[in-house]
Chain A
């Protein structure tokens, strides 16, 4: 008797005494009301017009997505952004600061997304440089978000902040904000916890290589996995991943990079090489001392607690890692950060912690950059 009404039950009938929620097509409204009243069944209206609600929601979602900032001054640094929004930000920053900032494409990802690096330079030719990358592991969202903040910070402060101005007098800064764009897109659409690249290698149905195990330093040794389905899969050979190869080629071609910082989350650590071996690096003492000062600067802002040391002693053995390779290339000041937090939110760090995290990390980065500036080699 009820089927001609085409009722859509949102809370199905369970038995006498239990409420039922039902969506009623317009033509069935009056007949259904009559039927309920005739049988003494009480009802109330929760939503007058479902279609209006659906239309409103769709409009909100479209508006939110299409609301592109008109300048880097109206960009919201305290929220997480999509890949397109970050690429738009980069172009805005370059347009607003074309005397300081330029955008370089250093390669393409597996899924053919551009790999962009921002160059901050006050001139000169092939000046000694500092490299910073964020987002190499795509699920570590606070890092890409911090990278965006760093870019704006450099543009804002390059004249009035003495330390930064003096760094840029002598050195260039290269900043790759989305180092793994395929992985990042995947975390937005399919799996928030995706870490690796999105490459397919023959012989496996599993996708992706850990870009921080794919470098040519102790490649394939203990501290990485040969299983393509593993989160720490090193890949079929060193630099198999275009995202990694692009940086390797850039670094080799540039030839004058003096400091290299690769940024991850989480754990609140500042690390220097090595990860693949317990043999200390020759510059251990100096790197340890820089770390001490950098961490002190970081903590001075909000009291955030960081530990520091070599990768292998402080976190775990890891082979084929970025800064092991860069150090062995002669880039003495090679560091990795693990940003906030220590596990309460882990990868899902609340957006309101983005700016404080970026601010405190920037203080540590300045210590490293200033030291490099004062100890060029």
Chain B
């Protein structure tokens, strides 16, 4: 039987964070990331022999345009036992997300026409600054980290992207843009800062893909 959960309590907020990571990955771009604005309703139930399923009513906000929000329902199933299977996430977004084609194409063309491969570090910097030129790079990392968060979350973890330590563009002969990121993830329950490497592919029509990712030892990013 499904049990109502206080939306501000941990199991609901952790499942919500995971769901938003997944949804952001599926729907995001350098012009749009999605963040969690609120959990309106949550319930959970144990499914014998399968795992624990959460049903969530969420409000998502558009990053960077925080005034733009959408409602969303999501189901998160944490699998019993085998910790190597990522949780299942199903979601439905009510209404339309803002169109980011123009911003995406501007960014795409800008990067494609660079003479030198883009290289940057510490985004945001210590004071929280992100320069306007780096905002799409920041959002792309936000979206791609959603994949890493989804793949590595359990009921006892809650991940957030803390910072991009380093990003390097990798020039390709095909139409895709490729970036090699070293990011820091903040895991809320253990409070650990975890360096993570991820290779990200993007194309305006083909969405974001993480083709390779690996957790790094704690001192890798220093």
Contacts and interface: CB of A to CB of B under 8 A. Distances in A.
Interface in A202-235: 210, 225, 229-232
B28 to A, nearest CB: 13
A289 B83 CA distance: 40
A316 interface: yes
B193 A351 contact: no
A229 B192 CA distance: 10
Contact of B9 (A191, A192, A195, A309): A309
A350 B191 contact: no
Contact of A191 (B8, B125, B162, B222): B222
B191 A231 contact: yes
A348 interface: yes
B127 A79 contact: yes
Interface in A341-362: 342-351, 353
Most buried by A among B10, B218, B222: B10
Contacts of B30: none
Contacts of A192: 126, 163
B128 A313 contact: no
B27 to A, nearest CB: 17
Contact of A313 (B9, B115, B124, B192): B9
A193 B17 CA distance: 21
Contacts of A188: 126
A307 interface: yes
B22 to A, nearest CB: 15
B97 interface: no
A197 B38 CA distance: 33
A346 B162 contact: yes
B186 A314 contact: no
Given A192-B126, A231-B192, A344-B35, A313 B6 contact: yes
Given A191-B222, A231-B193, A343-B35, A316 B188 contact: yes
A19 interface: yes
A305 interface: yes
Contacts, number: 82
Interface string B132-165: 0000000000000000000000000000111100
Select the residue from B6, B126, B129, B184 with max chain A CB neighbours within 10 A.
B126
Given A305-B38, A346-B186, A314 B126 contact: no
A351 to B, nearest CB: 5
Nearest to B129: A350
Interface centre among A11, A347, A350 (most CB of B within 10 A): A347
A316 B186 contact: no
Interface string B186-209: 101111110000000000000000
A77 interface: no
B110 interface: no
Contact of A345 (B10, B128, B190): B128
A215 B25 CA distance: 40
Interface size on B, as a range, is 20 to 34
Interface string A329-347: 0000000000000111111
Contact of A193 (B36, B63, B162): B162
B64 to A, nearest CB: 9
A231 B163 contact: no
B186 A80 contact: no
A308 B6 CA distance: 11
A19 B115 contact: yes
Nearest to B61: A344
B116 A307 contact: no
Given A80-B127, A343-B160, A231 B190 contact: yes
Contacts of A305: 37-38
A190 B186 CA distance: 18
Interface of A: 11, 19, 79-80, 141, 187-188, 190-193, 195, 210, 225, 229-232, 267, 305, 307-309, 313-316, 342-351, 353
Given A193-B186, A348-B127, 7 more contacts: A190-B222, A305-B38, A309-B6, A342-B36, A343-B186, A345-B124, A348-B163
Interface of B: 6, 8-10, 17, 35-38, 63, 115-116, 124-129, 160-163, 184, 186, 188-193, 218, 222
26 contacts: A192-B126, A193-B162, A193-B184, A210-B191, A229-B218, A230-B190, A230-B192, A231-B192, A231-B193, A267-B188, A305-B37, A305-B38, A314-B9, A315-B10, A315-B188, A342-B36, A343-B17, A343-B36, A343-B161, A343-B186, A346-B162, A348-B127, A348-B128, A350-B127, A351-B129, A353-B128
